[in-house]
Amino acid sequence: MNIILGTHWTLREVGGVQSHLKNLTRIMTKQGYQYVLVHPSDRFLSIWWKAYCTLKHLGNTDRGRIDLALRRMADARLTLEHFLKRGNFHLIHAHDVFFMYASTDLLQKKSYAKPKVLTVHGPLWHEVRMLMGNRSPRFSAFVRGVEEEAYAAADAIIVVDSNLRRTLVEEYGVPYAKVRVIHNSVDTDWFTPGNGYKTPNPSFLVPRRLVPKNGVPVAVEAFRRIAQSGAELWIAGDGPQRPIIEGLIQRYKLQGRVRLLGSVGAEVVLELMRKAWGVIIPSVPTEGVIEATSIAALEAMSVAKPVFASGIGGLKEIIQHGETGFLFPPGDADALASLLEEAINQPETLGEIGEKARAYVLQHHSLPIWFKHIQAVYREVLGL
Protein backbone atom coordinates (compact mmCIF):
# COMPACT_ATOMS: atom_id res chain seq x y z
CA MET A 1 0.00 0.00 0.00
CA ASN A 2 1.28 3.47 -0.94
CA ILE A 3 0.16 6.33 1.32
CA ILE A 4 0.49 10.12 1.29
CA LEU A 5 0.84 11.42 4.84
CA GLY A 6 0.33 15.15 5.14
CA THR A 7 0.33 18.00 7.62
CA HIS A 8 0.07 21.78 7.50
CA TRP A 9 2.71 21.99 10.24
CA THR A 10 6.45 21.70 9.67
CA LEU A 11 8.32 18.82 11.28
CA ARG A 12 10.58 21.22 13.17
CA GLU A 13 7.64 22.42 15.21
CA VAL A 14 7.02 20.65 18.51
CA GLY A 15 3.70 18.99 19.26
CA GLY A 16 1.48 15.95 19.27
CA VAL A 17 1.11 15.88 15.48
CA GLN A 18 4.87 15.59 15.01
CA SER A 19 5.15 12.81 17.64
CA HIS A 20 2.19 11.02 16.07
CA LEU A 21 3.74 11.17 12.58
CA LYS A 22 7.09 9.98 13.89
CA ASN A 23 5.42 6.88 15.33
CA LEU A 24 3.36 6.30 12.20
CA THR A 25 6.28 6.53 9.77
CA ARG A 26 8.39 4.30 12.03
CA ILE A 27 5.85 1.46 12.07
CA MET A 28 5.04 1.89 8.36
CA THR A 29 8.73 1.48 7.54
CA LYS A 30 8.98 -1.63 9.71
CA GLN A 31 5.94 -3.19 8.04
CA GLY A 32 7.03 -2.42 4.49
CA TYR A 33 4.53 0.31 3.64
CA GLN A 34 5.44 2.88 1.01
CA TYR A 35 4.71 6.48 1.96
CA VAL A 36 5.68 10.08 1.42
CA LEU A 37 5.38 12.79 4.06
CA VAL A 38 4.11 16.12 2.73
CA HIS A 39 4.43 19.35 4.73
CA PRO A 40 5.17 23.05 4.16
CA SER A 41 8.70 24.40 3.94
CA ASP A 42 10.53 25.25 7.17
CA ARG A 43 10.89 28.80 5.86
CA PHE A 44 7.42 29.57 7.14
CA LEU A 45 8.76 29.28 10.70
CA SER A 46 10.77 32.44 10.13
CA ILE A 47 9.65 35.49 12.05
CA TRP A 48 10.18 37.44 8.83
CA TRP A 49 7.34 35.59 7.12
CA LYS A 50 5.03 36.42 10.00
CA ALA A 51 6.13 40.03 9.89
CA TYR A 52 5.71 40.22 6.10
CA CYS A 53 2.17 38.83 6.21
CA THR A 54 1.23 41.30 8.94
CA LEU A 55 2.80 44.28 7.18
CA LYS A 56 1.11 43.32 3.92
CA HIS A 57 -2.19 43.91 5.73
CA LEU A 58 -1.06 47.22 7.23
CA GLY A 59 -0.24 45.76 10.62
CA ASN A 60 -3.48 43.79 10.97
CA THR A 61 -2.23 40.62 12.69
CA ASP A 62 -5.65 38.99 12.34
CA ARG A 63 -5.54 39.15 8.54
CA GLY A 64 -1.81 38.36 8.62
CA ARG A 65 -2.46 35.04 10.35
CA ILE A 66 -4.95 34.05 7.65
CA ASP A 67 -2.47 35.05 4.95
CA LEU A 68 0.31 32.95 6.50
CA ALA A 69 -2.00 29.94 6.89
CA LEU A 70 -3.03 30.19 3.24
CA ARG A 71 0.62 30.38 2.16
CA ARG A 72 1.50 27.30 4.17
CA MET A 73 -1.44 25.42 2.68
CA ALA A 74 -0.48 26.51 -0.84
CA ASP A 75 3.10 25.33 -0.30
CA ALA A 76 1.94 21.92 0.96
CA ARG A 77 -0.54 21.69 -1.93
CA LEU A 78 2.26 22.19 -4.48
CA THR A 79 4.25 19.35 -2.95
CA LEU A 80 1.17 17.16 -2.82
CA GLU A 81 0.44 17.78 -6.51
CA HIS A 82 4.04 16.88 -7.37
CA PHE A 83 3.66 13.45 -5.76
CA LEU A 84 0.18 12.81 -7.14
CA LYS A 85 1.50 13.37 -10.67
CA ARG A 86 4.44 11.01 -10.21
CA GLY A 87 3.24 8.19 -7.99
CA ASN A 88 0.50 5.62 -7.73
CA PHE A 89 -0.83 6.42 -4.28
CA HIS A 90 -3.80 4.63 -2.78
CA LEU A 91 -5.01 7.24 -0.29
CA ILE A 92 -4.25 10.48 1.53
CA HIS A 93 -3.97 10.51 5.30
CA ALA A 94 -4.12 14.11 6.59
CA HIS A 95 -3.07 14.94 10.14
CA ASP A 96 -4.76 18.28 10.53
CA VAL A 97 -7.72 20.10 9.07
CA PHE A 98 -5.61 22.59 7.10
CA PHE A 99 -3.95 19.83 5.07
CA MET A 100 -7.27 18.07 4.54
CA TYR A 101 -8.80 21.34 3.32
CA ALA A 102 -5.88 22.00 0.95
CA SER A 103 -5.78 18.45 -0.42
CA THR A 104 -9.55 18.41 -1.00
CA ASP A 105 -9.30 21.67 -2.97
CA LEU A 106 -6.52 20.21 -5.13
CA LEU A 107 -8.30 16.90 -5.73
CA GLN A 108 -11.43 18.71 -6.85
CA LYS A 109 -9.61 21.08 -9.21
CA LYS A 110 -7.41 18.38 -10.76
CA SER A 111 -10.04 15.61 -10.77
CA TYR A 112 -7.89 13.24 -8.74
CA ALA A 113 -9.95 10.53 -7.05
CA LYS A 114 -8.29 9.46 -3.79
CA PRO A 115 -9.88 8.34 -0.52
CA LYS A 116 -9.10 10.71 2.33
CA VAL A 117 -8.53 9.85 5.99
CA LEU A 118 -8.22 12.63 8.58
CA THR A 119 -6.70 12.25 12.05
CA VAL A 120 -7.93 14.93 14.46
CA HIS A 121 -5.68 15.55 17.46
CA GLY A 122 -7.83 18.28 18.97
CA PRO A 123 -10.51 20.85 18.12
CA LEU A 124 -8.40 23.53 16.43
CA TRP A 125 -10.96 26.31 16.69
CA HIS A 126 -11.09 25.84 20.46
CA GLU A 127 -7.29 25.83 20.64
CA VAL A 128 -7.14 29.11 18.73
CA ARG A 129 -9.58 30.65 21.20
CA MET A 130 -7.52 29.27 24.10
CA LEU A 131 -4.33 30.91 22.83
CA MET A 132 -5.72 34.11 21.30
CA GLY A 133 -8.98 34.80 23.07
CA ASN A 134 -10.92 37.46 21.15
CA ARG A 135 -7.83 39.07 19.63
CA SER A 136 -8.22 37.38 16.21
CA PRO A 137 -11.94 37.11 15.34
CA ARG A 138 -11.35 36.80 11.58
CA PHE A 139 -8.69 34.11 11.98
CA SER A 140 -10.90 32.28 14.46
CA ALA A 141 -13.81 32.31 11.99
CA PHE A 142 -11.45 31.20 9.21
CA VAL A 143 -10.26 28.23 11.27
CA ARG A 144 -13.82 27.25 12.11
CA GLY A 145 -14.75 27.26 8.43
CA VAL A 146 -11.70 25.18 7.51
CA GLU A 147 -12.58 22.64 10.21
CA GLU A 148 -16.16 22.25 9.04
CA GLU A 149 -15.16 21.76 5.39
CA ALA A 150 -12.37 19.34 6.30
CA TYR A 151 -14.66 17.18 8.42
CA ALA A 152 -17.24 17.08 5.63
CA ALA A 153 -14.63 16.15 2.99
CA ALA A 154 -12.99 13.26 4.87
CA ASP A 155 -14.10 9.73 4.05
CA ALA A 156 -13.15 8.63 7.55
CA ILE A 157 -12.02 10.53 10.63
CA ILE A 158 -9.75 9.15 13.35
CA VAL A 159 -9.86 10.85 16.76
CA VAL A 160 -7.63 10.09 19.71
CA ASP A 161 -10.24 9.83 22.44
CA SER A 162 -13.98 9.45 23.00
CA ASN A 163 -14.48 13.03 24.15
CA LEU A 164 -13.15 14.34 20.85
CA ARG A 165 -15.57 12.14 18.93
CA ARG A 166 -18.39 13.56 21.03
CA THR A 167 -17.24 17.10 20.17
CA LEU A 168 -17.17 16.40 16.43
CA VAL A 169 -20.58 14.74 16.46
CA GLU A 170 -22.43 17.11 18.78
CA GLU A 171 -20.78 20.44 17.95
CA TYR A 172 -19.80 20.03 14.29
CA GLY A 173 -22.53 17.67 13.17
CA VAL A 174 -20.14 14.98 11.89
CA PRO A 175 -21.94 11.65 11.39
CA TYR A 176 -21.10 9.27 14.24
CA ALA A 177 -20.37 6.45 11.79
CA LYS A 178 -17.61 8.48 10.12
CA VAL A 179 -15.55 8.81 13.32
CA ARG A 180 -13.23 6.12 14.73
CA VAL A 181 -11.57 6.35 18.15
CA ILE A 182 -7.96 5.17 18.02
CA HIS A 183 -6.00 6.18 21.09
CA ASN A 184 -2.46 7.45 20.73
CA SER A 185 0.56 5.16 20.70
CA VAL A 186 4.06 4.97 22.10
CA ASP A 187 7.21 3.36 20.76
CA THR A 188 7.76 0.86 23.56
CA ASP A 189 11.10 -0.20 22.06
CA TRP A 190 12.42 3.35 22.48
CA PHE A 191 10.67 4.37 25.70
CA THR A 192 12.01 1.65 27.99
CA PRO A 193 12.72 1.69 31.74
CA GLY A 194 16.48 1.75 31.16
CA ASN A 195 18.67 0.61 34.08
CA GLY A 196 16.06 1.42 36.70
CA TYR A 197 18.03 4.32 38.23
CA LYS A 198 16.12 7.16 39.84
CA THR A 199 17.31 10.15 41.83
CA PRO A 200 17.93 9.58 45.57
CA ASN A 201 15.70 12.52 46.48
CA PRO A 202 12.09 12.63 45.25
CA SER A 203 11.87 14.23 41.81
CA PHE A 204 8.94 14.63 39.44
CA LEU A 205 8.83 15.67 35.79
CA VAL A 206 6.29 17.81 33.93
CA PRO A 207 7.03 17.35 30.19
CA ARG A 208 4.57 19.91 28.90
CA ARG A 209 4.42 23.03 26.76
CA LEU A 210 3.61 26.07 28.87
CA VAL A 211 0.14 26.79 27.50
CA PRO A 212 -3.11 27.16 29.49
CA LYS A 213 -4.60 23.74 28.72
CA ASN A 214 -1.54 21.93 30.11
CA GLY A 215 -2.10 23.32 33.60
CA VAL A 216 1.57 23.53 34.59
CA PRO A 217 0.89 26.21 37.27
CA VAL A 218 -1.18 23.56 39.11
CA ALA A 219 1.96 21.44 39.56
CA VAL A 220 3.88 24.44 40.91
CA GLU A 221 1.05 25.20 43.35
CA ALA A 222 1.12 21.56 44.51
CA PHE A 223 4.85 21.77 45.15
CA ARG A 224 4.33 24.83 47.31
CA ARG A 225 2.27 22.62 49.56
CA ILE A 226 4.94 19.90 49.82
CA ALA A 227 8.00 22.17 49.91
CA GLN A 228 9.18 20.62 53.18
CA SER A 229 9.47 17.17 51.58
CA GLY A 230 12.66 18.08 49.75
CA ALA A 231 11.15 16.98 46.42
CA GLU A 232 12.14 18.59 43.13
CA LEU A 233 9.96 19.49 40.15
CA TRP A 234 11.46 19.54 36.65
CA ILE A 235 9.48 21.37 33.98
CA ALA A 236 10.56 20.46 30.44
CA GLY A 237 8.82 22.78 28.01
CA ASP A 238 8.36 26.39 27.03
CA GLY A 239 5.52 28.66 25.97
CA PRO A 240 3.50 31.79 26.70
CA GLN A 241 2.83 30.86 30.34
CA ARG A 242 6.52 30.90 31.28
CA PRO A 243 6.33 34.37 32.93
CA ILE A 244 3.38 33.20 35.04
CA ILE A 245 5.27 30.13 36.22
CA GLU A 246 8.43 32.12 36.90
CA GLY A 247 6.30 34.48 39.00
CA LEU A 248 4.89 31.58 41.03
CA ILE A 249 8.37 30.18 41.65
CA GLN A 250 9.57 33.54 42.95
CA ARG A 251 6.45 34.22 45.00
CA TYR A 252 6.62 30.86 46.79
CA LYS A 253 10.44 30.87 47.03
CA LEU A 254 10.73 27.60 45.14
CA GLN A 255 13.89 28.45 43.19
CA GLY A 256 15.74 25.52 44.74
CA ARG A 257 12.87 23.08 44.18
CA VAL A 258 11.32 23.90 40.80
CA ARG A 259 13.55 23.94 37.72
CA LEU A 260 12.44 25.40 34.39
CA LEU A 261 14.41 23.49 31.77
CA GLY A 262 12.85 25.04 28.65
CA SER A 263 12.33 23.09 25.44
CA VAL A 264 14.51 19.98 25.35
CA GLY A 265 14.93 17.15 22.86
CA ALA A 266 13.24 13.75 22.97
CA GLU A 267 16.42 12.05 24.21
CA VAL A 268 16.66 14.44 27.15
CA VAL A 269 13.00 13.94 28.02
CA LEU A 270 13.53 10.17 27.99
CA GLU A 271 16.46 10.42 30.41
CA LEU A 272 14.53 12.78 32.69
CA MET A 273 11.61 10.34 32.75
CA ARG A 274 13.94 7.48 33.68
CA LYS A 275 15.49 9.45 36.54
CA ALA A 276 12.24 10.89 37.93
CA TRP A 277 10.10 9.20 40.56
CA GLY A 278 6.99 10.02 38.55
CA VAL A 279 5.56 12.20 35.79
CA ILE A 280 2.86 14.85 36.25
CA ILE A 281 0.29 15.70 33.55
CA PRO A 282 -1.81 18.45 35.23
CA SER A 283 -4.06 19.37 32.30
CA VAL A 284 -7.09 21.62 32.78
CA PRO A 285 -10.07 22.19 30.44
CA THR A 286 -9.59 25.54 28.69
CA GLU A 287 -11.93 27.16 26.13
CA GLY A 288 -13.37 23.77 25.22
CA VAL A 289 -9.92 22.16 24.85
CA ILE A 290 -9.69 18.96 26.89
CA GLU A 291 -6.60 16.76 27.09
CA ALA A 292 -6.76 13.69 24.84
CA THR A 293 -4.70 10.52 25.22
CA SER A 294 -1.55 12.43 26.09
CA ILE A 295 1.47 11.05 24.26
CA ALA A 296 3.68 12.30 27.11
CA ALA A 297 1.62 10.26 29.58
CA LEU A 298 1.93 7.13 27.43
CA GLU A 299 5.68 7.65 27.09
CA ALA A 300 6.06 7.90 30.86
CA MET A 301 3.98 4.76 31.37
CA SER A 302 6.14 2.94 28.83
CA VAL A 303 9.20 3.94 30.86
CA ALA A 304 7.47 2.28 33.85
CA LYS A 305 6.88 5.53 35.70
CA PRO A 306 3.64 6.32 37.54
CA VAL A 307 1.73 9.21 35.99
CA PHE A 308 -0.12 11.72 38.16
CA ALA A 309 -2.75 13.11 35.81
CA SER A 310 -5.91 15.16 35.77
CA GLY A 311 -8.94 12.89 35.51
CA ILE A 312 -10.25 14.35 32.25
CA GLY A 313 -10.62 13.46 28.57
CA GLY A 314 -8.38 10.74 27.24
CA LEU A 315 -6.26 10.66 30.40
CA LYS A 316 -8.99 8.89 32.33
CA GLU A 317 -9.35 6.45 29.43
CA ILE A 318 -5.73 5.27 29.67
CA ILE A 319 -5.07 5.49 33.43
CA GLN A 320 -6.76 3.37 36.06
CA HIS A 321 -6.43 5.18 39.37
CA GLY A 322 -4.30 3.31 41.88
CA GLU A 323 -3.46 0.60 39.35
CA THR A 324 -1.62 2.09 36.38
CA GLY A 325 -1.29 5.65 37.67
CA PHE A 326 -3.04 8.31 39.70
CA LEU A 327 -5.87 10.69 38.82
CA PHE A 328 -6.90 13.92 40.53
CA PRO A 329 -9.58 16.54 39.79
CA PRO A 330 -8.36 19.05 37.19
CA GLY A 331 -6.95 22.21 38.71
CA ASP A 332 -6.94 20.75 42.26
CA ALA A 333 -3.42 21.45 43.54
CA ASP A 334 -4.31 20.16 47.02
CA ALA A 335 -5.37 16.78 45.63
CA LEU A 336 -2.20 16.53 43.57
CA ALA A 337 -0.08 17.48 46.58
CA SER A 338 -1.73 14.75 48.66
CA LEU A 339 -1.00 12.13 45.99
CA LEU A 340 2.63 13.25 45.76
CA GLU A 341 3.03 13.17 49.55
CA GLU A 342 1.69 9.61 49.66
CA ALA A 343 4.07 8.59 46.88
CA ILE A 344 7.06 10.14 48.64
CA ASN A 345 6.16 8.40 51.91
CA GLN A 346 5.54 5.04 50.22
CA PRO A 347 8.08 4.88 47.36
CA GLU A 348 7.78 1.11 47.00
CA THR A 349 4.29 1.54 45.53
CA LEU A 350 5.68 3.63 42.67
CA GLY A 351 7.64 0.70 41.26
CA GLU A 352 4.58 -1.53 41.33
CA ILE A 353 2.40 1.08 39.63
CA GLY A 354 5.10 1.72 37.04
CA GLU A 355 5.39 -1.96 36.13
CA LYS A 356 1.62 -2.23 35.68
CA ALA A 357 1.64 0.94 33.57
CA ARG A 358 4.26 -0.48 31.19
CA ALA A 359 2.40 -3.78 30.93
CA TYR A 360 -0.74 -1.82 30.00
CA VAL A 361 0.89 0.19 27.19
CA LEU A 362 2.59 -2.92 25.81
CA GLN A 363 -0.81 -4.56 25.55
CA HIS A 364 -2.85 -1.60 24.27
CA HIS A 365 -0.67 1.21 22.88
CA SER A 366 2.43 -0.28 21.25
CA LEU A 367 3.01 0.70 17.63
CA PRO A 368 2.07 -2.66 16.04
CA ILE A 369 -1.24 -2.85 17.94
CA TRP A 370 -2.05 0.80 17.22
CA PHE A 371 -1.24 0.43 13.52
CA LYS A 372 -3.61 -2.53 13.15
CA HIS A 373 -6.49 -0.19 13.96
CA ILE A 374 -5.26 2.37 11.44
CA GLN A 375 -4.88 -0.33 8.78
CA ALA A 376 -8.51 -1.29 9.35
CA VAL A 377 -9.55 2.29 8.52
CA TYR A 378 -7.39 2.26 5.38
CA ARG A 379 -8.97 -0.97 4.20
CA GLU A 380 -12.45 0.38 4.89
CA VAL A 381 -12.05 3.58 2.82
CA LEU A 382 -10.44 1.56 0.01
CA GLY A 383 -13.28 -0.96 0.06
CA LEU A 384 -10.95 -3.90 0.75
CA triplet 275, 281, 284: central angle to 5 degrees? Answer: 165
Of the listed ranges 8-22, 159-173, 323-337, 340-354, the least confidently predicted one is: 8-22
d(CA 255, CA 41): 40
CB burial readout 308-333, b (16+ within 10 A) else e: bbbbbbbbbbbbeeeebbbbbebbbb
Share of the chain above pLDDT 70, in %: 98
- 111-120 pLDDT, tens per residue? 777 899 999 9
Whether the full predicted model's pTM is greater than 0.85, yes or no, is yes
Give, in order, the Cα–Cα distances in Å from 55 to each of 64, 92, 141.
8, 35, 21
- 321-365 pLDDT, tens per residue? 999 999 999 999 999 999 999 999 999 899 999 999 999 999 999
- 366-378 pLDDT, tens per residue? 999 999 999 999 9
Q: DSSP label at 311? A: S
Phi, psi at 22, each rounded to 5° = -60, -45
Residue 199 CB neighbour total at 10 angstroms: 13
- Is-contact 358 325, C-beta < 8 A? no
Give the per-residue pLDDT at 120.
94
pLDDT at 291 over 70: yes
Q: How far is CA 282 from the centre of its chain?
A: 14
Q: Confidence class of residue 181 from pLDDT cuts 50, 70 and 90?
A: very high
Which runs of E-coded beta strand occur in 210-357?
A: 232-236, 258-262, 278-281, 307-310, 326-328
Q: What domains lie within the chain, and their CATH numbers? A: 2-184+366-382 (3.40.50.2000), 203-364 (3.40.50.2000)
Q: How far is CA 367 from the centre of its chain?
A: 16
Q: Confidence class of residue 14 from pLDDT cuts 50, 70 and 90?
A: low
Give the per-residue pLDDT at 44.
79
